[in-house]
Amino acid sequence: MPDAHKPLTLVLKNDLGEIDSIWATLERVLEEYYLSRKDMFQINLAVEELFTNIVSYAFEDKGPHDIFVNIYVERRKFLVVELMDDGIPFNPADHQDPDMSKPLSQRDEGGLGIHFCKKMMAEFFYERNGKQNKVTFKKRIRKPGFFEKFFSCRRSHGN
């Protein structure tokens, strides 16, 4: 069972081939948080979208870079996911949402993935610390009994 106060950290390379391992790891970990399948899908989708954008656009060189993904529970209300990289500054929270009133053929290319990430999450924000980008999103935990199951398991294991 993941610790409620200590983040689970994934360290990924800036390689789109890491997406398969992201899906496998996130699915296994998120199941331990007693999330609904819909919430799990939305979290996976957001992580994959943000990871893909980081790999595709964040690095001016072609060298190896680490991308960190932290997952933890906050205040028994949110599952929090943080993605951190040392790429060029980019604030997806300020990225203008696509004009959804236009037909698809008339919309500018790009931005739809970030738009979905922001809409599916309770909170979505960005900060730049020195040379590091940090995108954080929070998913409200709605499944009945989540905290009773989560914290009773922790107590029974002496945590």
Q: Write the DSSP assignment of 6-17 as a string of letters.
A: S-EEEEEES-GG
Confidence of residue 105 (pLDDT cuts 50, 70, 90): low
Confidence of residue 68 (pLDDT cuts 50, 70, 90): very high
Phi, psi angle pair for 87, to nearest 5°: -85, -175
| pLDDT score at 92 | 85
**Is 62's pLDDT higher than 70?**
yes
Q: Widest CA span of the chain, in angstroms?
A: 58
What span, in angstroms and rounded, lies between the C-alpha atoms of 97 and 118?
A: 9
37: three-class secondary structure by DSSP: helix
Average pLDDT for residues 126-153, to the nearest whole number? Answer: 78
**Is 134's pLDDT higher than 90?**
yes
Phi, psi angle pair for 53, to nearest 5°: -65, -40
